[in-house]
Amino acid sequence: MNEVKNIVLLGRRNAGKSTLVNLLAGQDVAIVSPVAGTTTDPVKKRMEIKGLGPCNLIDTAGIDDEGEVGGMRSERSFKEADLADLALLLFTSNRFGEYERNLANYLKGRSVPFILVHGKEDLEPLDESLRMTLGDEFGCPIMNVSCKRVSDRDLMLGAIARMLSGESESKALVPKSLAGEGDRVILVCPIDRGAPEGRLILPQVKTLRALLDNKAIVTVAQPSELEKIFASGQDYKVVITDSQAFSEVSAAVPEGIPVGSFSILMARLKGPFGLFLESVKKIDSLKDGDHVLILESCTHRASCDDIGRVKIPAMLKKYTGKELLFDFVSGLDDVPHNRYSLAIQCGGCMATARQITSRVNSIAEKGVPVTNYGLAIAFAKGLFSDANFKAFLNLIAEK
């Protein structure tokens, strides 16, 4: 259930990035050539790493690429670095120069963990004095690798797993403060035109799995069944619902039982939740003619009742009474301009925490407040004054 981690290989042209991708993947994925600049666009390979789970290995163009087009390729490599969960910064021949140092500082400035990898070790070993200097300067692991030594594959994969292994996504999604062993939880999963045929949506599945990992006792129901459930006399710790059913669910839940949403849990897991909470208040200051940006992290076919493109805009117009203008960005495409009074990010179930955080922070740095689908819906429905909703926010704020 853990999210796919992005491992990005960076370095100069002909530093051995593609060869290392092939070694780690155990197959020929990237084209290898002694000609500098062979890799022009990012090459991705999905693989499983023991102790870590599914990962994307991402080969990139050299950061020292030349010319107008080369500069564009290099810029794309830096964009991949922004979204990395881990970067492997390759250098060879004991040459750790301006390009490498600038890139290492770039990664540090964006809190991207990285490993310095001295490649082509069979041709020229890493000088120990340089190892000590780099260790003191950057405080990161430093690896020696020869892609001709098959044993180096396991050493590299082990180092990657150690760097990225931490609290599982399951534990991070549903903290024990929200629901632990023996706690009874209701998951409200409406089956309507927006529900996929024959399955639950990913945030619902992830939340269910996380609750089972916590050994909670879970009841899954539609909104219309809540009255019967509460009539049974059982005690429930929390109710988690699809954001679109907030009003109906809140009205049915007795006072004293926290009520929240799958989208808010995803926002807490994958984004800067404090920023989301603070920015949602900006809805009250929206004016006629203000531009609102809707950020979708996956591409999908919009329906007539699409949550991001139809329902949220309608909710905000109704709540504010203002004539608002909306733009929509799908996938992880660049934001077209800075004219927005508010941006609203989806739950990000198909993106990594690094991708969501990087995207949101880049927009916030331009002075645009950014909140989340679930929080925006709750605000527009007046739930921020609801005791059950406030109790939910307090529970997920606990460590």
Where among 230, 265, 300 does a domain terminate?
265
Where among 135, 164, 193 does a domain terminate?
164
- Rounded to a whole number, what is the distance in angstroms from the first to the last CA of the chain? 22
Distance of CA 238 to the CA centre of its chain: 25
pLDDT at 32: 52
Residue 129 in domain = yes
pLDDT at 380 over 90: yes
Q: In CATH, what number is assigned to the domain containing residue 216?
A: 3.40.50.11420
Where among 118, 142, 164 does a domain terminate?
164
Residue 395 in domain = no
pLDDT at 399: 44
pLDDT at 20 over 80: yes
pLDDT range class, residue 307, cuts 50, 70, 90 = confident
Q: Are residues 160 and 28 in the same domain?
A: yes
pLDDT at 196: 67
Q: Are residues 68 and 134 in the same domain?
A: yes
Q: What is the DSSP string of 74-115?
A: HHHHHHHHHT-SEEEEEE-TT---HHHHHHHHHHHHTT--EE
Q: Are residues 155 and 290 in the same domain?
A: no
Q: Are residues 97 and 146 in the same domain?
A: yes
Residue 220 in domain = yes
Q: In CATH, what number is assigned to the domain containing residue 375?
A: 3.40.50.11410
Residue 388 in domain = no
pLDDT at 302 over 60: no
Residue 234 in domain = yes
Q: Are residues 193 and 321 in the same domain?
A: no
Strand order in the sheet with 259-261: 217-221, 184-188, 238-241, 259-261
Distance CA(219)–CA(187), nearest Å, equals: 6
Q: Are residues 139 and 241 in the same domain?
A: no
Q: Are residues 109 and 226 in the same domain?
A: no
Q: How many domains does the chain have?
A: 3
Distance CA(276)–CA(356), nearest Å, equals: 12
Residue 101 in domain = yes
pLDDT at 101: 93
The H or E element that residue 53 is part of is strand 53-59
Q: What is the mean pLDDT of the chain?
A: 86
Q: Are residues 120 and 30 in the same domain?
A: yes
Residue 390 in domain = no
What does DSSP say about strands 5-11 and 259-261: parallel, antiparallel, or unpaired? unpaired
Q: Are residues 26 and 158 in the same domain?
A: yes
Taking the model in full, what pTM does it have?
A: 0.67
Answer yes or no: are the C-beta atoms of 375 and 264 closer than 8 Å.
yes
Distance CA(395)–CA(393), nearest Å, equals: 5
Q: What is the DSSP string of 366-390?
A: TT--EEEHHHHHHHHTTGGG-HHHH
Q: What average pLDDT does range 41-56 have in this prediction? A: 83
Q: In CATH, what number is assigned to the domain containing residue 126?
A: 3.40.50.300
Distance CA(328)–CA(322), nearest Å, equals: 19
Distance CA(20)–CA(139), nearest Å, equals: 23
Q: Are residues 101 and 234 in the same domain?
A: no
Distance CA(148)–CA(326), nearest Å, equals: 54
Q: Are residues 289 and 336 in the same domain?
A: yes
pLDDT at 1: 47
The answer to which of 25-29, 43-47, 240-244 has the lowest mean pLDDT is 25-29
State the DSSP code for 9.
Answer: E
Helices marked H in 110-245 — which ranges? 128-138, 151-164, 169-173, 202-213, 226-231
pLDDT at 318 over 90: yes
Distance CA(220)–CA(126), nearest Å, equals: 57
pLDDT range class, residue 301, cuts 50, 70, 90 = low
Summarised one tens digit per residue, pLDDT across range 81-119 is: 888 899 999 999 999 999 999 999 999 888 889 999 999
Strand order in the sheet with 340-345: 325-329, 291-295, 340-345, 370-372
Identify the residue whose tokens are 């429905």: 381
Q: What average pLDDT does range 189-213 have in this prediction? A: 84
What does DSSP say about strands 5-11 and 86-91: parallel, antiparallel, or unpaired? parallel
Answer yes or no: are the C-beta atoms of 263 and 188 closer than 8 Å.
no
pLDDT at 30: 53
Q: Are residues 64 and 213 in the same domain?
A: no
Residue 11 in domain = yes
What does DSSP say about strands 53-59 and 43-49: parallel, antiparallel, or unpaired? antiparallel
For residue 292, the enclosing domain spans 280-380
Summarised one tens digit per residue, pLDDT across range 135-177 is: 888 988 898 898 888 778 888 888 888 888 765 666 688 988 8
pLDDT at 114: 93
